[in-house]
Amino acid sequence: MTDWERIVGRHGAAVWQTAYRLLGNREEAADCYGQTFLAAIELSRRQKVRNYGGLLRWLCTCRAMDRLRQRGRQAGREEGLADWSNVASTNPGPVEEAQAAELSERLRGALAGLPSREAEVFCMRYLSELSYRDIGRQLGLKTSAVGMLLHRARGRLREMLGQPDGAGDAEI
């Protein structure tokens, strides 16, 4: 029998952090958090899980990316203003806050446009701060493949966000 209280206690904060960083919205992050654990329960009933931390981060990233893609499709159908009120900012001024919110929304939209594997690897590296080795272990990839996927993801994001080659390597 799986001790879900222990698993949630041990990995819940990382799952929440992943969901909130990707979605930037408490309500959506809470839904994603719950869906992640439900999916993990269903999966654990069908097969043995060796690494709950990796599985939960992976499931959370996939669900969050699905929500971002859905959000992008809805935005394409609706011509409305983005909801900036839910995006947290450390910048005190309204101009800086609006710029940070716009950049966050653009990055979320760009992430939704990446191929799934590239988006997963990018999020695991830069949002969950996992090493190349840990990402490779969790996704069943060689470390060199992780590096290649990150390189492709950064290039595509630069292109989508309108940065020239080589500019902003530290940020992306």
Spatial separation of the C-alpha atoms in residues 84 and 81, rounded to whole Å:
9
Question: Other CB atoms closer than 10 Å to residue 2's CB: what's the count?
Answer: 12
Q: Which two tokens stand for residue 171?
A: 């940020």
More confident residue, 86 or 117: 117
The residues, ordered by sequence, that sit 6+ positions from 38 with a Cβ below 8 Å of its Cβ are none
Q: What is the pLDDT of residue 90?
A: 55
Q: Which residue has the tokens 């969950």?
A: 128
More confident residue, 101 or 152: 152
Q: Say whether pLDDT at 140 is over 80.
A: yes
Using only C-alpha atoms, what is the Rg of the chain?
17
Q: Say whether pLDDT at 160 is over 90.
A: no
Q: What is the pLDDT of residue 35?
A: 94
More confident residue, 128 or 121: 121
pLDDT bin (cut points 50, 70, 90) of residue 31 is very high
**Architecture, CATH, for domain 115-172:** Orthogonal Bundle (1.10)
All structural domains of the chain with their residue ranges: 1-79, 115-172
| Closest of 138, 168, 123 to residue 22, by C-alpha | 123
pTM of the model: 0.54
Spatial separation of the C-alpha atoms in residues 57 and 134, rounded to whole Å:
12
CATH topology of domain 1-79: Rna Polymerase Sigma Factor; Chain: A (1.10.1740)
Q: What is the pLDDT of residue 87?
A: 61
The residues, ordered by sequence, that sit 6+ positions from 115 with a Cβ below 8 Å of its Cβ are none
